[in-house]
Amino acid sequence: MKIVVADDDRQMLGALRIILTAHGYDVLVAADGRQALDAAIEGHPDLVVLDLGMPGLDGLAVIDAIRGWSTVPILVISGRTDSAEKVDALDRGADDYVTKPFATDELLARIRALVRRMPTADDEPRVAFADVIVDLATRRVTRADSPVRLTPTEWRILELLVRNPDRLITRETILTEVWGPHHTSDSGYLRLYLAQLRKKLEADPAHPRHLITEAGMGYRFVPQGE
């Protein structure tokens, strides 16, 4: 769940970043309207938290710009309490409006309420190699148009590799990403799962062409094995 937070007050911005990160959100910060707009475009967030009192590009203009191409929920934060600005912001496309100062737990509850309304974003890519299709949106893997059953651990490893094509993933990275930050020593089970994945996805498991071992370092997913 990715959130863009825009506020020109550095202290407030930092506080929001810490709070939201602590509650499990991925946070992209922006210190002015221009950065907010860029972050909203580049980051594909699930929510935008926008302070209205920003220099440069005005907060209301940011709402207009975002609404020009996106329906992402926008939660406005503002120091102004007069209803005129609330009405203006809401009618331009904002979904909620909170006045400073605000209670942190209320902000979090309003964020949850907005995210709850969001249809699950399905801009997840579909990765294909050989006769295998990995659909990250539906969490489904098909090979030659027939479904492949993966265990949860197998899926997590495959997802990690597939999301980073052509990049080398160290064994340590896989262990911490899949088994948690405390697992750094491999007593052999990682190789087991890689073997399992190859058995299920590679044409010739003994000579893999897409799930490549980099000796001494880790593994690499190659979409188009020559």
Report how far residue 7's alpha carbon sits from residue 33's, in angstroms, rounded to the nearest whole number. Answer: 8
Listed in sequence order, the residues at least 6 apart from 23 whose beta carbon sits closer than 8 Å to its beta carbon are 108
Q: Which of residues 20-79 bind a second copy (CB under 8 A)?
A: none
144 binds DNA per the rule CB under 7 A: no
Q: Any bridge partners for residue 131, and if so which?
A: none
Q: Judged by CB under 7 A, which of 21, 167, 184, 189 binds DNA? A: 189
Pull the structure tokens for residue 166. 């052509």
Interface residue with DNA among 158, 174, 194, 201 (CB under 7 A) is: 194
From 164, 184, 213, 224, residue interacting with a second copy (rule: CB under 8 A): 164
- Applying CB under 7 A, among 15, 176, 179, 200 the residue interacting with DNA is 179
Residues 88-127 contacting a second copy, CB under 8 A: 90-91, 94-97, 103, 105-106, 108-110, 112-113, 116-117, 119-120, 122
Give me the least distance between CB of 156 and DNA, in Å please.
8
Shortest distance, CB of residue 47 to DNA, whole angstroms? 23
Q: Where in the chain does DSSP place strands (E)?
A: 2-6, 26-30, 47-51, 74-78, 96-99, 126-129, 132-135, 140-143, 146-148, 168-170, 211-214, 218-221
Q: Which stretch of DSSP H or E encloses residue 173? A: helix 171-179
Would you count residue 55 as binding DNA (CB under 7 A)? Answer: no
In the complex, the smallest distance separating the C-beta of residue 108 from a second copy, rounded to whole angstroms, is 8
Scan for tokens 């911490």, then name that residue. 176
